[in-house]
Chains A and B, each alone.
Chain A
């Protein structure tokens, strides 16, 4: 498999690097850019970033393994993140997570990110999303949803094409 970063994305990346007096600082922004494009961070992506920033691959790999938002395996086209933390738990987030899992044929008790067989959806619990006043809250890819009832959850799923 060949790994190519499209020219326009590379131009964007080169611009990002100029934001910092020390190139290494751009690591997280580059990881975001590549994960958004490829869906996950492959070994090739890690090596590519390291080369771009004049680092050893381990300097980039240790970020991928530390920061929860980066993943080494592909996820579904739509990634659903349900907040697990206290205010949302009080507001029914565990029921909401279970609702998504049963609806999508996933195991509500499994740990970590789970993806449907057709690769369309992934569901995971995350920690407080800074929306505790409108619990329970969740994200579907970049979109943030508040006060998510089960009916609203179905609506969100329905809009995922």
Chain B
């Protein structure tokens, strides 16, 4: 797995082989594996497709992953709003059991494994791995603080646990078939394999597209006839949310200095946001992330204040409420954006939003949701400040003194 270079497809892009190597194998406790099929990051719709179109690919990937990690009991945590997906998975598991790919003494190997489907119930925070574990224990999905609750050591029932995304586990099947070194030839160095990109928003051909990681640029994904097919007639690009709603927005025309190797030497190349290779590292260098690999395209007909208000309402609704900065901050940001989009804005709202957003992340919260809810606000207001100030000013001037 390490040789394959596979990085998690759920959001953080962490090395899968490394994650597995952290699992405490000496504790004497059972090891669990959980497939994260909670897919709720706005913009993302790839796991649903895998589950609906090829559930056996996932199950095969899980069986191999469980065998490799000596797991005897595994779960697929699927979001509650995918009842059909849960039924499909149950049917596929039944087929696998009938063929003795699951159950006792699998194909005479002496290895036992059972996989069950567990349904969530409509809370985004269940996608966060420790929240997911709490939820699977039958509790409210309040994320656990790390340290000490790293799933690899103190996960499900305080036992070592692996949590991987649906797409990550599907890749395992191909890595074992092809060999790690061969898999690593797909994609680009440190960004190996293929990835399903969810493309939505204002493009001609929204949809899900599998690419070799880093072999297509954001611009190609939006404009190439094989992918997005370009913007709608007569529209101009305004911005791109590159890796799910939590990732920092890229403004049309923004330029970044990308580190590249040219003839063995490190050089910095000025790169337009559209020419960023769609991979983990290039987007990190551009100050954002490829996250859950979901691109949302915004053209010049949208009002970025409306866009941010929509996203902030999502975060205000989904904060689990354990940490004051996140619970209150996400709500204040949403309320401020609500007044800005309802004719009650103030000139100072842009600065006020950034002040709230800046006070949430940086170790003040239990989980990464704190970052996730502040990044859109920080980046939208920084990059489109005039739009926010203009709106607040207009409202203020229209109000009787």
Contact surface of A with B, Cβ cutoff 8 Å: 19-22, 24-29, 31-32, 53, 59, 62-63, 66-70, 81, 84-87, 89-90, 126-135, 139, 142-144
Contacts of A29 in B (CB 8 A): 118-119
B44 CB–A CB distance under 8 Å: yes
Complex contact A90–B140 (CB within 8 A) = no
Q: A32-B80, A62-B140, A86-B307 are in contact. Are A128 and B121 (CB under 8 A)?
A: no
Q: Which of B271-314 contact A (CB under 8 A)?
A: 294, 296, 298, 302, 307, 310-311, 313-314
Nearest chain A residue, comparing its CB with the CB of B159: A21
Complex contact B314–A128 (CB within 8 A) = yes
Contact surface of B with A, Cβ cutoff 8 Å: 39-45, 47-48, 73, 79-84, 116, 118-124, 135-141, 157, 198-202, 206-208, 241, 245, 294, 296, 298, 302, 307, 310-311, 313-314, 317-318
Q: A28-B138, A29-B118, A132-B296 are in contact. Are A67 and B123 (CB under 8 A)?
A: yes
Per a CB cutoff under 8 Å, which of B45, B116, B298 touches A131?
B45
Contacts of A20 in B (CB 8 A): 116
Complex contact B138–A25 (CB within 8 A) = yes
Nearest chain B residue, comparing its CB with the CB of A55: B138
- Which of B123, B136, B138 has the most A CB atoms < 10 Å from its CB? B138
24 contacts between A and B (CB under 8 A): A20-B116, A28-B120, A29-B118, A29-B119, A53-B138, A63-B140, A66-B123, A67-B121, A68-B121, A68-B122, A69-B81, A70-B121, A84-B313, A85-B314, A90-B302, A126-B122, A127-B42, A127-B318, A128-B44, A130-B82, A132-B42, A132-B201, A133-B208, A143-B84
Bound: A122/B307 CA distance, A: 27
Bound: A123/B176 CA distance, A: 47
Bound: A21/B161 CA distance, A: 14
Complex contact B200–A87 (CB within 8 A) = yes
**Cβ-Cβ contact count across A and B, 8 Å cutoff:** 136
Q: A26-B138, A87-B200 are in contact. Are A130 and B317 (CB under 8 A)?
A: no
Minimum C-beta distance from B133 to chain A (A): 10
Bound: A94/B28 CA distance, A: 54
Q: A21-B73, A81-B81, A87-B200 are in contact. Are A132 and B43 (CB under 8 A)?
A: yes
- Which of B41, B135, B202 has the most A CB atoms < 10 Å from its CB? B135
Bound: A48/B245 CA distance, A: 40
Contacts of B43 in A (CB 8 A): 86-87, 128, 132
Bound: A62/B139 CA distance, A: 8
**Minimum-distance CB pairs A-B, first 9:** A67-B121, A27-B138, A69-B122, A132-B200, A68-B122, A24-B138, A87-B200, A69-B121, A128-B42
Per a CB cutoff under 8 Å, which of A22, A81, A89, A133 touches B45?
A133
Complex contact B119–A130 (CB within 8 A) = no
Complex contact A32–B121 (CB within 8 A) = yes
Bound: A30/B116 CA distance, A: 14
Contacts of B245 in A (CB 8 A): 85-86, 128
Complex contact A86–B137 (CB within 8 A) = no
Bound: A69/B140 CA distance, A: 13
Minimum C-beta distance from A86 to chain B (A): 5
Q: A67-B122, A86-B296, A133-B199 are in contact. Are A28 and B135 (CB under 8 A)?
A: yes
Per a CB cutoff under 8 Å, which of A59, A85, A133, A135 touches B310?
A85
Contacts of B42 in A (CB 8 A): 85-87, 127-128, 132
Contacts of A130 in B (CB 8 A): 39-40, 44-45, 47-48, 79, 81-82
Complex contact A139–B81 (CB within 8 A) = yes
Minimum C-beta distance from A146 to chain B (A): 10
Complex contact A132–B45 (CB within 8 A) = yes
Nearest chain A residue, comparing its CB with the CB of B87: A142
Contacts of B201 in A (CB 8 A): 86-87, 90, 132
Contacts of B122 in A (CB 8 A): 67-69, 126
Bound: A68/B318 CA distance, A: 10
Minimum C-beta distance from A123 to chain B (A): 16
Bound: A142/B318 CA distance, A: 22
Contacts of B121 in A (CB 8 A): 28, 31-32, 63, 67-70
Contacts of B135 in A (CB 8 A): 28
Minimum C-beta distance from B245 to chain A (A): 6
- Which of A24, A32, A62, A130 has the most B CB atoms < 10 Å from its CB? A130
